[in-house]
Amino acid sequence: MNLQQVKLETVFQEITKQTGLTVAYSRPTVDPGKIVSVDAKGEELASVLQRLFDGTDITFEIGKQKIFLNKHSVEKKDVGRTKRVSGLVVDVNGEPVIGASVVVKGTSNGTITDLDGQYVLDNVPVDATLDISYIGYTTQTLKANDKSLAHITMKEDTKVLDEVVVVGYGVAKKSDFTGSLNTMDSKNIVDSHKQSATAALQGTIPGVDIIRNGNNPGAGFNIMIRGQNTIASGGTGSMTDINPPLYIVDGIMLNSIDDIAPDDIERIDVLKDASSTAIYGSRGANGVVIVTTKKGSQGEGKSYVEYNGFVSLTQATHLPDMMNGQQWADYKVDRYKGEHWTEYMNGEADPSYEQVLTTQQYNNLMAGKNVDWVDELLGVAFSQNHSLRAYGNAKDMVYSLA
């Protein structure tokens, strides 16, 4: 018998076809529409049924003409009986989970896993339910007679992990962290379509002023967190004289984060109050910007390629209307007449374009050159950004190449 992803009633029909035994059950007890898979060759019927209902409370009895299915009920002899439960707790990578909690539900009877992820728990009622839990992982609930207790694989709970904050002295929950902390994740950084990580932070974090330190292309940024905390070295109090915050990139202190591609950043945390000095000392007096870059993925030898790119066009709007060459020349002549009104009225000053304009201006006018310099300076700006990252793992190595 080799049936994959079929209804339970289909398996019953195949059993009847091969053995001649009909399957008797009640619908509240057995759901014939449940999807199951069975693969057996040269195997006894009792063994197949045992695997089919493993982990459920369904028992079977093979008669001369029928197979009877019933719901298992705890016999009186099981009441009050206890057993020893033991096993191994690991994560999705097969690494032992140290300190995982294994507790009999509704009681104080429990234990934790040792350095090898092993646990042993005595005096467990045979009809009890056990909860296996660890911070950052989804809690699992299993019956005391479940064979899965021998080898438990914990899965990460992403909702819980989002509530964890990594600070200089360890890990804390956001609800327990009393400092002022703002976070920007990789999705928001990439979606901003900015050329630098600092530019992506502009206008997103309260109490943080980010201003360019120059108008030339590629100019960097100055960051001031919650105002100026020390007397500026230049004494002008301008943004160019401020003391910058402390930048920490993957635990390493840097002078700036402008050279880090936004696509390489997993998240940015900004510490803004006294907690920054408590962690990093006087170096964090002006605040701390903590950058966590993307890492390779854990798994079973899987590799991934990630591409992100955008092209943008930027154009200024609501520009002033500019004169053409002829209008500008007329304006210059009229202005000259206004300045020499008396001479003009007496016929002493009747200027021409050639007399008022410079030689170059007059030559450009005669040549019909009309240059709109505002349009030249504020024309359509074209920009693009492309990034390619390969990441994954191979044997014992985790890699990320960008």
pLDDT grade for 169, boundaries at 50, 70 and 90: very low
pLDDT on residue 300: 58
For the chain, the three-class secondary structure string (H helix, E strand, C coil) is: CEEEEEEHHHHHHHHHHHHCCEEECCCCCCCCCCEEEEECCCCCHHHHHHHHCCCCCEEEEECCCEEEEEECCCCHHHCCCEEEEEEEEECCCCCECCCCEEEECCCCCEEECCCCCEEEEEEEECCCEEEEECCCECCEEEECCCHHHHEEECCECHHHHCCEEEECCEEEECCCCCCCEEEEEHHHHHHCCCCCHHHHHCCCCCCEEEEECCCCCCCCEEEEECCCCCCCCCCCCCHHHCCCCEEEECCEEECCCCCCCHHHEEEEEEECCCHHHHHHHHHHCCCEEEEEECCCCCCCCCEEEEEEEEEEEECCCCCCCCCCHHHHHHHHHHHHHHHCHHHHHCCCCCCCHHHHCCHHHHHHHHCCCCCCHHHHHCCCEEEEEEEEEEEEEECCEEEEEC
pLDDT on residue 176: 43
Given a cut of 60, whether residue 167 has pLDDT beyond it is no
Q: What percent of the chain has pLDDT over 90?
A: 4
What does pLDDT average to over the chain?
77
More confident residue, 229 or 388: 388
pLDDT grade for 235, boundaries at 50, 70 and 90: very low
pLDDT in tens, 23-70: 888 877 788 888 888 888 888 888 888 888 887 778 888 888 888 888
Mean pLDDT of the 134-144 span: 87
pLDDT on residue 156: 80
| pTM listed for this prediction | 0.42
Name every residue whose Cβ is closer than 8 Å to that of residue 340 and which is 6 or more positions away in sequence: 349
pLDDT grade for 158, boundaries at 50, 70 and 90: low
Lowest mean pLDDT among 39-53, 154-168, 171-185: 171-185
pLDDT on residue 76: 47
pLDDT in tens, 338-349: 777 777 677 666
pLDDT grade for 131, boundaries at 50, 70 and 90: very high
Most confidently predicted of 102-116, 233-247, 284-298, 356-370: 102-116
